[in-house]
Amino acid sequence: MKLIIRVILFFAVSAVSIEAFDSERDRFVVGGGLGYAPLVQTEAKYITNSKATASGVGYNLFAGYGYNDNAMFGFFKEGIFTETETIFTPEEKVHTGFTGAGVIFYFDDVGESFFINSAAGIIHFSKRNNTEYKHDASFGYLFGMGYEFAEHFQFYASMTGGKTESPTVEWEHTNIKISLRILAY
């Protein structure tokens, strides 16, 4: 019985997938990518020499809907994993991320096209050094641009930023990431 249900679900999902992803951007769109973050910067506000700069591995996810072939609205999730030193700890593992809603605008039709995007949402920051410690999430922003060099494949660069607070310090975050992204549309 379980096998029959799995087979039915497989064919149902396959049929939906074929109809949903037809190489047109004016429908449901989902995708993600991996890349390199050459700049992951965190600074404690009002504390001199508190800037910590590192590099790391980044990821991005997108799910949304295309209004037409040139404009998409949706949800962005971006993050970076790195190890860094701060004035407070010798070395710690850090994850900084952004979650928000925004728009992507393509300058040309499907295929080869430059694009820009922006989003507003929440920036979050967490670090782990023997004990896990998280800052409060706060307003964040995302700006990005890239080039779709073939259907579904994009070079993508983004900048995220914002402020978070720990119990005693206000932190400012700036992150730049370069990645290869694949979108199914």
Residue whose entry in the numeric block shows the structure tokens 């590192």: 54
pLDDT at 47 > cutoff 90: no
Mean pLDDT over 177-181 rounds to 96
* pLDDT tens digit sequence for 108-137: 988 889 999 999 999 988 876 655 566 678
Mean pLDDT over 180-185 rounds to 92
Output the pLDDT for position 78. Answer: 96
Mean pLDDT over 29-55 rounds to 85
Output the pLDDT for position 169. Answer: 79
- Range with the lowest mean pLDDT among 103-107, 164-168, 175-179? 164-168
The larger pLDDT score, comparing residue 135 to residue 88, is at 135
Q: Which fold has domain 24-184?
A: Porin (2.40.160)
Radius of gyration of the chain (CA): 19
Collapsed DSSP state (helix, strand, coil) of residue 120: strand
Q: Provide the terminal-to-terminal Cα distance of the chain, rounded to the nearest Å.
A: 34
What residues does each domain of the chain span? 24-184
Whole-prediction pTM: 0.79
* pLDDT tens digit sequence for 20-31: 556 777 889 999
- Range with the lowest mean pLDDT among 33-42, 128-137, 149-158, 176-185? 128-137
d(Cα 117, Cα 56) in Å, to the nearest integer? 22
What are the tokens at 44? 């404690």
